[in-house]
Amino acid sequence: MDNQEFRTLIMSTRPPFLILTPICLLLGWSLVFSKQNDFSVLLLVISFTGAILAHISVNTLNEYLDFKSGLDLITKRTGFSGGSGALPKNPNMAKSVLFIGIFSIFMTFLIGLFFIFYYGWQILPLGLAGMITIVTYTRWLNRHPFLCLFSPGFGFGFLMVLGANFALTGEYSSSLVFISLIPFFLINNLLLLNQYPDIEADIKAGRYHFPIAFGVSNSNVIFGLFILLTMIVIISAITFQILPMLSLIVFLPLPLSLFSLIGAIKFRENIGSHPQYLAANVIATIAAIILLSISIIFG
């Protein structure tokens, strides 16, 4: 395997997007860290490995299927949408990328079995939901507007955050379920805005996500609504002492989300030509989740 082929395999995992995994895991672990409870570093490492492999499987399967469908050949790529573009440059690596996707999901499955044997069946619903999301995302969820709209926040905001906490404690936290609404709304917005530049290409490829089904104007309304709901959840959680007062720092990056909304209203499907708005949305999401974790740990 030469350097170009190796680079194709690495790029097909979409490394810039993988950063979302440890950030969501940190939120799930933050409640454990805040209570200064003893926890197993080994379990932390295993859960981290499983989550990264799950994310890699989603990305590589998406890369392979988008290439085979022809979507990668017609999409206008930005730094935040349109895939990595690795396979169109090296189509002979398609089977290798598919192998990585299948191998990653198999290893994720084995790690899930480990936690079932370690803790019992209670983690099974999370695992099954996660596996179904991985397998169905590209071929099925992308063809159902509301499922596609909610699946990113469900996968990362709920499954990954709750799974990370369960991996260290062996139980579910009711407060974390409510807190998980914050990354749920923000991560849904992350994918929603990134779909705008791909609308024309996605239509040709047979996708039917929210911006295609209901238009950009309605998508902007949803984007703004998710920002508002994020703020409401933060205030409510602080009011009911689910979150500490320090969690007000989560509001600091949210003006960037509003900046992104302004860009979406102004440039609509052409927002990809103005990447500062897409970048602001990414920064707001990542920063808000990190600050939320910090506030829980030190609040």
**C-beta atoms surrounding 298 within 10 Å:** 11
Query: Which tokens sit at 218?
Result: 């309605």
% the chain with pLDDT above 70? 97
Q: Is residue 2 part of a domain?
A: no
What domain count does the chain have? 1
pLDDT of residue 1: 64
**pLDDT-derived band at 35, boundaries 50, 70, 90:** confident
Task: Give pairs for 40-44: CB < 8 Å, separation 24+.
Answer: 40/168, 43/118, 43/167, 43/168, 44/167, 44/168
CA dihedral over 40, 160, 25, 240, signed as positive or negative: negative
Q: Is residue 115 part of a domain?
A: yes
pLDDT of residue 76: 75
Map tokens 């290439």 to a residue: 67
Q: Is residue 3 part of a domain?
A: no
Spatial contact of 186 and 231, defined as CB atoms under 8 Å apart? no
Does residue 248 carry a pLDDT above 90?
A: yes
Q: Is residue 46 part of a domain?
A: yes
Structure confidence by residue, pLDDT tens digits, 159-185: 999 999 999 999 998 999 999 999 999
Q: What is the pTM of this model?
A: 0.94
Rounded to whole angstroms, the Cα distance separating 25 from 32 reads 12
**pLDDT-derived band at 286, boundaries 50, 70, 90:** very high
CA atoms within 13 A on the CB side of 140: 6
Does residue 267 carry a pLDDT above 80?
A: yes
Does residue 203 carry a pLDDT above 70?
A: yes
Out of 135-144, 150-159, 274-283, least confident range: 135-144
Q: Mean pLDDT across the stretch 139-153?
A: 91
Does residue 221 carry a pLDDT above 70?
A: yes
Q: Mean pLDDT over all residues of the chain? A: 92
pLDDT of residue 68: 84
Residue 97: give the domain boundaries: 8-298
Does residue 36 carry a pLDDT above 80?
A: no
Q: What is the DSSP letter of 250?
A: G
Structure confidence by residue, pLDDT tens digits, 92-137: 988 999 999 999 999 999 999 999 999 999 999 999 998 898 888 8
